[in-house]
Structure 1
């Protein structure tokens, strides 16, 4: 027990150092050793958390270690016995938010077999962490996402979803993960929309079967407000890219465009279509969405032309301006043909 008490003092020191500039000297090997030590502490918690006498002794050792090291490391958080159960996560959290960590060590976080990978999903909402990781990516096309933190959040999310696809209960696990991201972002739907788009557009691995993308599309359709936000706030070009990679999203997007069209009303005095809902877009923006689809590919052009003609027929197949928004969209697209 005396040795274990000394080990706990080493744990307090490890977590304290992980938040300081000294981690700049850690390479990948040192990082692996740190995580092995953290796992050892989790094993100690599992072994002794139900042993009242042993736990009391270990809690005392932690209090002494916290007191001794507090004066050395300043504002570091006291480590409690219950924290040992999540020692790996605490280590990961400290390192992810420490700009002193060397890039060679950071890349370990991005490795699907690395010790920190299982905890990344809990840190997706931490901008400081994802900002740090963003500097470790090699230069790649950003698909229109200029905030490196958002691009990194999306890439981490996609990696976790791809990993979850290997489990028999992948759907439940994936929904739980996506729900947790919405919660971590505190309901900031615009931020969530950009993270999801970055995940959908992140590079595919050779073994990728597209299931992760369809999971995201399915989850988006469960929250109508989030789906509307996704389609409204993202650049039209980015949405078109998502349409190309996800069949399920393509179908949901068409429904959103139709619903937006139905919210527009023609103002006779102004001589134009006006919005009647904050969740919708203007007539000009609606035209831009359809134009982007028409320019995307021959197959999408054919599908989009068909959708517009169906919408026009459903409206009464009018040709007079102001009677059918779909007819006026078609006229605008024809008059300003690409």
Structure 2
């Protein structure tokens, strides 16, 4: 077993070499040996998948000496993919070795008709598609109409998290998954990371809602099918929510960057987000002061991060257009803040009084529209 552990310990070095300029001396034979090592590590993963103690030993050995321990036992199962993608991106790989690599990607040894969804050819095609979609020239798109690249990135992230969830047995592996996710997202520019996470959470939330609305699963048992789907979605969403909520500065930037309509939709799908989001809006609202000369609410400190009165009013308005539960939660929060601020009845004395009046006026008009529509039909 010690010999196996010593071999596994060489995986980070193998991946590092595959990304370096050292590959310029590789020929087809050296490339074949490197890919064979990748398949050997994948074999070890499949062999020890159901043996928790050995899994933990392999994971510990992989993490040894890594400055940022992003590699763990689950990465053994994807070693051919990690190695293949690293070599694809390395321009130092000679033409002969590159041709051999492409041949191995398209016709891996022992390939069958039903390809694994994590197979190298599929990953290669996805990467090529991602590169094409990233080409400049198209007009900017809003997040509400998610561009293809962003949606593809969100779906790939969810696939990866689902694979990790299926393999996790030990608590240390769950911590490794969270570190992996943080490492991946922090490599992206922050606005892009926020958009990918929001799109992934929205896909999970919409998928769960559509399954519940559509009835039962394939076996006809709607309750069991929906519960299983909801549980799986929560397990995948958990690391994304932990990444967002684990850092207040990050969560604040996330909420400032994304539009209020999308944040309200996410808060409606995830109760873990609704309360922190309301608390953040409360913090921003407390930074507003009433300017009697202008007759409006303005920021008390222009250099502090926050929202204008118009933006804050819009955010609360979107929350009240959401689900009944979210609307009631938002109204209750505003009423409590109004009471704590003196329970004023006139405008200009409390930002919470003015916001609550705006929200109640909007809800009254919506109720009148619904009643008028009902009477006319």
**TM-score when normalising by structure 2:** 0.56
Structure 2 counterparts to residues 1-338 of structure 1, below 5 A: 9-10=27-28, 39-42=35-38, 88-93=81-86, 113-116=117-120, 130-132=130-132, 144-166=144-166, 167-168=168-169, 169=171, 171-185=174-188, 188-203=189-204, 204=207, 207=229, 208-275=232-299, 276=301, 278-336=304-362, 337-338=365-366
SS of aligned partner of 2:119 = coil
CA shift in 2, pair 1:304/1:184, >3 Å: same
CA shift in 2, pair 1:320/1:241, >3 Å: same
Distance 2:335 2:121 in 1: 48
SS of aligned partner of 2:286 = helix
5+ residue gaps, structure 1, are 1-7, 15-35, 47-85, 106-110, 136-141
CA shift in 2, pair 1:42/1:171, >3 Å: closer
Deviation readout 1:198-251 (Å, 9 max, x if unpaired): 111124477424122233222211211211121111122211221122111112
* Partners of 1:38 and 1:88 within 8 A in 2: no
Distance 1:269 1:334 in 2: 26
CA shift in 2, pair 1:45/1:97, >3 Å: closer
Distance 1:164 1:290 in 2: 36
Distance 1:201 1:130 in 2: 20
* Partners of 1:242 and 1:249 within 8 A in 2: yes
Distance 1:201 1:145 in 2: 12
* Partners of 2:134 and 2:149 within 8 A in 1: yes
SS of aligned partner of 2:321 = helix
5+ residue gaps, structure 2, are 1-25, 43-78, 92-101, 107-114, 136-141, 209-227, 367-377
**Displacement of 1:194 after TM fit?**
0.7
**TM-score when normalising by structure 1:** 0.62
Matched pairs, number: 248
CA RMSD of aligned residues (A): 3.9
